[in-house]
Structure 1
Amino acid sequence: MAKATWNGAVLAESDKTVVVENNHYFPADAINKEYFKDSDTHTTCPWKGVASYYSIEVDGQVNKDAAWYYPTAKDKAKQIEGYVAFWRGVKVER
């Protein structure tokens, strides 16, 4: 079971993560949506496609763009389409 935590809160937990480039991608139904705020940030990966971001907010603390996902992944990355991954201090443990 993989678990993502930040600032004492469990952001996501699942035994169905997909690991790509050493990042655990969590299914969308495994995230605790109360902590996620849509961001206007987007980046492009040559083989995965355009990523969208969430900022994480826990107890009034904001971790800007700490989670990302590919709403429409390219063919080689379809297995992570809609899945959410983390960085910027979010701890992911198995």
Structure 2
Amino acid sequence: MKASIGGIVIGDARDTDLISIEGNFYFPPSSLSADLFSDSPTPYHCPWKGDCQYHDVSIGGSTHHDAAWSYPDPHPASFERVGRDYSGYVAFDTAQVTLG
């Protein structure tokens, strides 16, 4: 599956490498164009996953605020619910990012 903004691919992973959590596809960090991502100051805490890190995505002079998010250090207890360790995996705001 590819994640793109305006036709520019920002993530590309095999379907078997994706993790589905609550209707969102999480991409492994190695599948991303990391140079396009920067940490956002937007705070969020999920009661069962832990502290979230939002990411801005910058392409061609435009910044897409909070276009992605991850859980760098999720609660270890959540791994059982998800089925595997998803630390650092990144999901996307589908209002800004096209998946397909």
Please report the TM-score for the alignment, with normalisation by the length of structure 2. 0.85
Partner of 1:89: 96
Partner of 1:55: 56
Choose 73-82 or 2-11, whichever is displaced more: 73-82
Partner of 2:42: 41
Q: Distance in 1 between matches of 2:71 and 2:36?
A: 19
Q: Distance in 2 between matches of 1:34 and 1:72?
A: 21
What is the Cα deviation at residue 39 of structure 1? 1.3
What is the Cα deviation at residue 69 of structure 1? 0.4
Q: Secondary structure at the match of 1:29?
A: helix
Please report the TM-score for the alignment, with normalisation by the length of structure 1. 0.90
Stretches of structure 2 lacking an aligned partner (at least 5 in a row)? none
Q: How many residues align?
A: 92
Please say which structure displays the higher CA radius of gyration. Answer: 2
Partner of 1:31: 32
Q: Which one-letter code corresponds to 1:83 in the other structure?
A: Y
What is the Cα deviation at residue 42 of structure 1? 2.1
The percentage of aligned residue pairs carrying the same residue is 35
Stretches of structure 1 lacking an aligned partner (at least 5 in a row)? none
Runs of 4+ in 1 over 2 A off after TM superposition: none
Q: Distance in 2 between matches of 1:39 and 1:46?
A: 20
Equivalent residues in 2 for 1:54-73, closer than 5 Å: 54-73=55-74
